[in-house]
Each structure stands twice: as structure tokens, then as C-alpha cells.
Structure 1
Amino acid sequence: MNDWMTLLGLDAEADERTIKRAYARQLRVTRPEDDPVAFQRLHEAYQAALAQLREDAAPPAEVRPAQASTDTVDAEGVAAQLVEVAGQGDDALLRQALQQQPELWSLHGKQRIGHAVLQQLVTDEPALPRSTFDTLSECFNWDDPVRGMDLHWLDAVARRCEQRWLLSSAGAQALATRYLGISESLLVPGSDVLPSLREPRPAWRNLLSTLQPSRAHQAISLLAALGYWHDLRVPPGLDAGQVAFWSRFGREGDAIHWQAGGLRALLVALVLGLICTWAVIASWPLPPSEDGMLDGGQRAALIIAAAVLLVPGLWLTSHTTRAIIRWQSLPEHVATVLPGVRILTVPLAVAAVMGTFHLALRFTTGVPVGTLVLLVFASGAVLRMARQRFLQRCSSAEQDAASGSLVVAIVLIVPALVMALVYWAKDLHVHRDELRWFNR
């Protein structure tokens, strides 16, 4: 008795819970790879302490039930020991510990220990690399279809333990390697992207962070490297609000892109407005317009207003066009807003551009250069919308087959509109039996 009392640092009155805590505490300093002899002595002392505790608590031999169990395997203690070894991330060391564990030689003991190890992984979610989790699963046959265990649930348990390991100092290098396999940009050493994901931040600070495109790319790639997108559970140690913000930013079409893009557009508009204001002040007084309709002050206000509204206008036009293209490219079976209008959007847009083109030529003296330039951009946008609708819904394999005729059509108004109608007609022909004019 003195041996286990000395090794575990306990007295004779210690209960089972105290013995297990003392054993777990000693495991942190006595490892099998450092001193196998000391580790074996510690394990024997632990078993002796439990045996002595059971012997003291057992009834006298004459009244002891005949059906008393002879199984003295401490599944929880062995499980704590195996999880401690597995947490070091060394597969060879874990396999050696599994082979040298006498409690695993019994089939019944192995099943009990395997259940206890899995229960501890589910409850505590310790930091384990995926390879060591797979080693434990292989040893205890967790993924055996005969056992009827949910493999998706088992994979989720492995992912949670792996996430905690990747976010620890021991798994930092593995996280960086996995990040490089996802992202083409390097994660700068000492970057505060990962620390910022650990602490709560207000939404306005995150929006300001999006002004730096690389920052948003790094945050999204880190979440992908951690396997967040598989089950959308917040990785352990990361702030839920931060993860929710950057995961929304990683989804194209989310409203948060409008907020971030609008903030960038307003910032550029402010800079351009200040530059034009400085130029107007430096050139003051401005002469009136040649036709005399605007004096110097009106011209100055018009110049500054044009500079301020240029970038927000282009940004709004670009995002609106992309939103319309996504709306047009939805599969036919998906319920959407105004399905009948969606089908007729391309011909209606062609009619609008052609009508504007006709009015510009009919009621404008000379060559309406400005109007024609705008119509060229409008016809190019209609052609792009019709082409993307056709390629994404009908023939995605031809998406990269851009020809010279397409470039010419974008420059010339009428050919662009004709090609847009051709793409639209081909799409309608492919989906002629699936068209949805109303949501039912």
C-alpha cells in the first residue's frame, strides 16, 4: 500500500475520485516515451490503489454475492491515459501505447475502454490531430458498419477535436500548411487575423476591415482551413459573432457585400470629391459655360457632384447587374421573384435599348456621341446577361469559349442585341417544357 500512496501522493482515506484525479495529474509529468519504467510503476500503483479501495469496500466473504463481477478494468482511467498520449500528436507513440496496454487484450475490456475514450472525446473535445483520431478509430473499430455508428456524427467529433488542435500552438504549422493549400496568398507571420477571430468585435470594425481585400480573403480562407463550412459549427475558441460575419462575407450575394462595397465606394467618392474641390478652389473663379447656361459657381458644383457620384454610380450599376444575372441564371425549378418577368427580361431589355437608340437618332441633331456610348454599354450588359443565363443554365462547358465575334458584338449595338436574343431563344428552347410563369 505504501508504494501507491507514495507515487500518487495520497493517504489511505482517499476515495476513487481522488485517486483518479491524482493519476491524471501524474500522467502530465510521467509519460511513457520519457520514462517507460516510471510510467509502468505509476500505472501499477493506480491499479493497486483501486484494488485496495474495492477490497476495503467489499462485504465479508461469507455474505459476498456469488454473482460479483471479476472485471477490474478501469475503463475511464485507461481512456484518460490514451487521450493524454494521443494529444501529443505522435501516431507511432499512440500505436505503441495501444499495443502495450494489457487492458486492451481482453475483447470485453477493449469495448469498454473504446466507449470510454469516445465518450471523453465527445465531452471534453481535446486537441487531437485527425491522424491520431483515425488511429483510435481503427483500434476500437468505431467506423465499423456492423456497429451501426453514425459516421457523419463520428466525423463531426473528429473535426471538433482537430479544430481545437489546429488552433493550438502545436497545430499552428499544420493550420498554415492547410491554409496554403486553399489560398494563393500567404498568411503573413504575426498577422492578427486569427487573434481577431478569437475576440468579439462590433460590426463596424469588421466593415472597416473589409476595406483591405486581403484581410477578408485571409479570414475566409482560415475558416475553410478549419473545416468550418462542413457543419457551420463555430470552431472552439473563436468568437461566434466574428465567425458569423466572415462566413456571411464568404457567400456571394449576401447583403453584407452591399454594405462593404458601398463603404468602399463612399470612401473613394469622398477622396475624389476632395480632389475636385481642391482643383476648383485652385482654379477659382471658373468661367461660365460656353452657352451661358451655367455660371462659374454652377459649373463648380456640377464638377464636384459628378466626381462624388461617379464611383458610387458605377458600383451600384455593377452590383445591380450581377444581381440581375444571378436572378436570370437560377434553375427553372427554383421558385423566384416574378418568374414570368424573369423569362421576358432579355427581350424587354432589348426593346428598351432599341427604343432609346431609335429616339436618340430621331430627335437629336448631329451625332449623339454621349448617348451612343451609353447605349453601347447597355447593349453589352444585355448581351452579357443573356449569355451568362444560357451558359449557366444550358451549356456551362462552353463558358470559356469567347470568340472574336462576341467582342465585335459588344462594341456594335445592334449585333449585340441580336446575339442576346439568340442566346435567350436557345435557352427557351432547351427549357421549353419547364418554363414557370407563376410560382405554384
Structure 2
Amino acid sequence: MSDWMQRLGLDADADERAIKRAYAKQLRLTRPEDDPVAFQQLHAAYQAALAQLGGNAAPAAEGVAPQASTDDVDHDAVAAQLLAVAGRGDAALLQQALQQQPELWSLRGKHHIGHALLQRLVTHEPALPRTTFNALAECFGWDDPVQGVDLHWLDAVARRCEQHWLLSPAGAPALARRYSDISETLLVPGSDVLPSLREPRPAWRNLLSTLQPSRAQQAISLLAALGYWHDLRLPPGLDAGQVAFWSRFGREGDAIHWQAGGLRALVISVVLGLLCTWGVVASWPLPASADGALDGGQRAALIIATAVLLAPGLWLTTRSMRALIRWQSLPEHAPSFLPGLRILTVPLAVAAVMGAFHLTLLNTTGDPFTALLVLPMASAGVLSMAGQRFVQRCAPAGQKAWGARMMIAIVLIVPALVVALVYWAKDLHAHRGQLRWFNR
């Protein structure tokens, strides 16, 4: 039994249809990107099978001139020539070259050239825009299900070639157009965002660059324009550490956001602390407080401490609120921390705010300015948590929990808490048969 019979699992009398079916079956198991050597062996066995099948064909009738043999054609040279034309990025020019290529007029020659061309695309990953790749796929029938080529794998090959094209000077305008379609931030011509993704940098430099709010969005949008999020494969020419850092930044909830946000809060707190220190020094000595409880030095220390702790406090409150909303918005079937407490969080929060409101009214003799400032913010937080929980778990896609209800929360306390309880009750009713009080 010959080698190609063993490789394809066929008998010697197999016809062309059986050979193509066996090759398609083996191609699903042997991916070029996973094992290039095995793929080349499979492709060689397939070519040998077709060659032997052609050799067993009946000879030409007497008096009829036989067609020129395609064995003398250098298929790799023709494939390289076609790739050179396709690399110009002009689909019309490529179509013209394909029509004028005499080696493609023979079906058998076209078949061999197509396989040689596809192997070059897998091995070398040349810079090709999607339009020219699609023109090649249509010409050689790679996207035809009869050929047995895995369309997902073919799309991955096309994406890799397109990434090479977008990162080349010729594809820079196309990359800019893609970026503008994805991001609302402006990528200034000559920006160093893309060059910085090409060179290795320490993590602390990336963290410092996050102090510029638009920098993170630009890097994430560039990765999206390159199609990185489809298969998470490193785009050609980019640094693995850079791509890993900014891809983590693109996932909400990743620990990298705590580091970047903490750095911003630290910088703001230092600036505010220095400004307040300068103001205190310029106004020294400070008078004592009106009630005499604090002298000038104590008042100065309180002012500086408040300025320093203001930004970190607001940041921690915001991050904690986002983490709480993510915890509340988990699907009911997903394992979570204390699922029973997660179900009762909204009514417990409503009870806590109402209790604090009641105690404030009982124990305040004058005008409760502080309570009237803090309690609406607390009620707004409870309403936001209940609304986001309901929207992400029950409401149709695109619906939001803001609007008039949020304005109510800012002005009034009790109506906002009532709306929060309504959201919570509707969510419980929608999941009444799925509620889990314990992780199983």
C-alpha cells in the first residue's frame, strides 16, 4: 500500500470524489497553524493521490493531440507571482491577472496552484487586504464547502494576512478608517500609540500612560481595529507584553483597573494636598473654630487631611459600587459569593437608608444639611444598583435604568427607595423558579 493510501485511509481504486472527501476529513483534524509539518504531509499525500489518479486515466484517442502536461508548471512560482500582484491591494488588478494567467486555464493546474498558494498564505502570512484575499478564495474555490476547507480556519488565515496589511505603510489609511468607525476618540496622525505597542515597555510606564484618559481607549480601539478580540492571537509586529497589558485594560473588572485608578487617585490627592498646604501656609495663623473645639493647627491638619483623602475616598466608593453592581447582576445560574445575601441586598440596603433617615430626623435639632446631602446620594446608589440588576438580568437589550427615576433619587429619598424595591420585586418574580440561596 502506498504512502498516500495510508495517510488518507483509502484503497488504491479510490476515485477523485473519495480522495477529496478523505482529504477534507483529515483537514479538519490537521490544522496548518497547529502542526505545519503534518499539514504539508497531508497535502503531499493529497497531491500524490490526484497525480496517480490522473496517471491511471485513459490515453488520448489516436489522431487527437494531447493537451500540454501540467507537470512541467512550477506551481510555487505561479503562486508567488500571484501573491506579488495581490500584495498591491488592488482587487481589480488581481482579477485581471487571474484571468490572464494561462496556467489557471487547466482545472488540474488551477487546483495545484490553489493549494500551493494557500500553503504560502499559511506559512508566510503575507500582507493582504481582505478584498484581495476574498478574490483569491473565490477564484480557487476555497470557500466552497465541497473543497472541504474549514471556513473558520480560512477566516483566521485571512485575518492574519489582513493584520499584516493594516500594520504596513500601505494599509495605514485603512487602519485609520477602521479605528474611526470603532472609537469616538481622535487618533492624531503621528501619534505614538501604535509605535508604543510595537516596543517592549515596563508595566510602570504603561500605568503612567493611563493617567491620560484617552490613551487607554486609543490602545484598546487599535487592537479592536486589528481584529485582535476575535481570536486573541498576537498581531504581527506588536509586543506581547504591551498587547497583554492593554487587553487586560479592555476587560472591565480586571485588577489592572484598580492599579490605574489608584494611581490617578494618588496623583489627584497629592495635588490637592499640596494646594491646601500652600493655602494654609499662606493664611497662617488660622483662627480657632467657632465652637472652640479645634485650634488653628488642628483646623489646618483637618483641612489638609480632607483634601488628601477626598479623591481616594471617592474612587474607592465608585469602584466598590461598580463591583457591587456586577455582583448583583450575575446570572442566577452562575456561582457567586453568598448567593442568599445577593438576593436580599436591595431590601437590606433600603432598610439601612430608611433607618439612617429616621434616626437623623429624631436626633437632629437644627437643619440636617449633612443628612439631606448624604442620604439622597445613598438612595441614588441603591436605586442604581437595583435598576442595573433588573436591566442586565431581565430587561430587553438596550434598555436603561436611568432617566426620570434617577432625578427622583437625587431630589427625594423615599420615592427612590420605593422604585428600587419595585425593581427588586420584578427581578425576583422573573427568576422565581431559579433563585439559589446556596452554591451547590
Write out aligned runs for 1:84-99 (5 A): 84-99=84-99
In the alignment, what sits opposite 2:71?
Answer: 71
What SS class does the counterpart of residue 184 from structure 2 fall into?
Answer: coil
**How much identity, in percent, do the aligned residues show?**
77
Shift of 1:327: 1.3
- AA matched with 1:297: G
In the alignment, what sits opposite 1:366?
Answer: 366
Write out aligned runs for 1:35-114 (5 A): 71-114=71-114
Deviations 1:178-234 (A, max 9, x none): 111112232111111111110000111111111111211111111111111111111
- AA matched with 1:141: G
Counterpart contact for 1:391–1:399, Cα < 8 Å: yes
Say if 2:162 is the partner of 1:162.
yes
In the alignment, what sits opposite 2:386?
Answer: 386
The more displaced of 406-415 and 124-133 is 406-415
In the alignment, what sits opposite 1:216?
Answer: 216
Deviations 1:123-154 (A, max 9, x none): 00111111111111111100110112111110
Write out aligned runs for 1:119-158 (5 A): 119-158=119-158
In the alignment, what sits opposite 2:258?
Answer: 258
CA RMSD of aligned residues (A): 1.7
Counterpart contact for 1:86–1:128, Cα < 8 Å: yes
- AA matched with 2:268: V
Say if 2:274 is the partner of 1:289.
no
Shift of 1:418: 1.8
Say if 2:317 is the partner of 1:317.
yes
In the alignment, what sits opposite 2:191?
Answer: 191
**Count of paired positions:** 372
Shift of 1:406: 4.8
Shift of 1:397: 5.7
In the alignment, what sits opposite 2:47?
Answer: none
Shift of 1:261: 1.3
Counterpart contact for 1:87–1:128, Cα < 8 Å: yes
1:372–1:70 distance in 2 versus 1, CA, 3 Å: closer
In the alignment, what sits opposite 1:412?
Answer: 412
Shift of 1:259: 1.2
Any stretches of 5+ residues in structure 1 without a counterpart?
1-68
**Distance (whole Å) between structure 2 residues aligned to residue 177 and residue 350 of structure 1:** 48
Counterpart contact for 1:380–1:411, Cα < 8 Å: no
In the alignment, what sits opposite 1:303?
Answer: 303
- AA matched with 1:352: A
In the alignment, what sits opposite 2:330?
Answer: 330
The more displaced of 195-204 and 358-367 is 358-367
What SS class does the counterpart of residue 331 from structure 1 fall into?
Answer: coil
In the alignment, what sits opposite 2:344?
Answer: 344
TM normalised by structure 2 equals: 0.81
1:247–1:294 distance in 2 versus 1, CA, 3 Å: same
Query: Max radius of gyration: which structure?
Result: 1
What SS class does the counterpart of residue 83 from structure 1 fall into?
Answer: helix
- AA matched with 1:97: A
Counterpart contact for 1:110–1:140, Cα < 8 Å: yes
TM normalised by structure 1 equals: 0.81
**Distance (whole Å) between structure 2 residues aligned to residue 401 and residue 340 of structure 1:** 24
Shift of 1:405: 5.5
The more displaced of 94-103 and 200-209 is 94-103
- AA matched with 1:117: L
What SS class does the counterpart of residue 128 from structure 2 fall into?
Answer: coil
What SS class does the counterpart of residue 426 from structure 2 fall into?
Answer: helix
Deviations 1:8-44 (A, max 9, x none): xxxxxxxxxxxxxxxxxxxxxxxxxxxxxxxxxxxxx
**Distance (whole Å) between structure 2 residues aligned to residue 405 and residue 330 of structure 1:** 23
Any stretches of 5+ residues in structure 2 without a counterpart?
1-68
Shift of 1:92: 2.1
Counterpart contact for 1:383–1:410, Cα < 8 Å: no
**Distance (whole Å) between structure 1 residues aligned to residue 363 and residue 184 of structure 2:** 54
1:406–1:398 distance in 2 versus 1, CA, 3 Å: farther
1:389–1:405 distance in 2 versus 1, CA, 3 Å: closer
- AA matched with 1:146: V
